[in-house]
């Protein structure tokens, strides 16, 4: 694929370079997982340009009170999903077979304090719903 399409928060770095494959969707899943775990995006900014500059660098952190109660297994999976190099990034199938996913499938009870904190963060996070494209 060789066009830039997507929303700034979820777009993979390789999409910005116009050279990507299905692994860009794995990146987007990582962004969604990040937001679900802490309530805010890994790449944030005042406008789309700033967000995309941060995405292009691919630097994020797992630091803060929201991350204190997130398991190391979840963080490991997140790092695999948000691997900057698509050649090293796991596939969707590998993600589904990750030990954290396999373990969580059997869990029936929710960690309420973690969920409440993440939901508070989600309420303050407003996503711009639009798709952008660039001329090639």
What residues have CB less than 8 Å from 43, skipping those under 6 apart? 8, 9, 31, 51, 54, 55, 60
Distance from C-alpha of 35 to C-alpha of 8, rounded to nearest angstrom: 14
CA 110 from centre of chain: 21
Range(s) of the domain holding residue 90: 5-128
Provide the domain count of the chain: 1
Please check whether residue 54 lies inside any domain of the structure. Answer: yes
Model pLDDT for residues 2-26, shown as the tens digit of each residue = 444 457 889 999 998 989 889 999 9
Model pLDDT for residues 15-64, shown as the tens digit of each residue = 989 898 899 999 999 999 999 999 999 999 999 999 999 999 999 999 99
Please check whether residue 106 lies inside any domain of the structure. Answer: yes
Please check whether residue 96 lies inside any domain of the structure. Answer: yes
Element (H, E) at 121: helix 112-124
Distance from C-alpha of 85 to C-alpha of 16, rounded to nearest angstrom: 13
Task: Give the CATH number, domain containing residue 99.
Answer: 1.10.510.10
């Amino acid at each position: 694929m060789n066009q830039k399409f997507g929303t700034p928060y979820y777009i993979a770095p390789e999409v910005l370079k116009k050279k990507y494959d299905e692994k860009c969707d794995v990146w987007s899943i990582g962004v969604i997982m990040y937001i679900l775990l802490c309530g805010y995006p890994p790449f944030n900014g005042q406008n789309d340009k700033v967000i995309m500059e941060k995405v292009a660098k691919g630097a994020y952190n797992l630091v803060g009170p929201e991350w204190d109660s997130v398991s190391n297994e979840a963080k490991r999976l997140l790092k695999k999903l948000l691997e900057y190099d698509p050649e090293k990034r796991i596939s969707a199938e590998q993600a589904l077979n990750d030990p954290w996913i396999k373990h969580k499938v059997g869990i029936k009870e929710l960690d309420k304090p973690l969920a409440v904190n993440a939901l508070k963060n989600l309420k303050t996070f407003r996503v711009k719903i639009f798709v952008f494209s660039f001329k090639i």
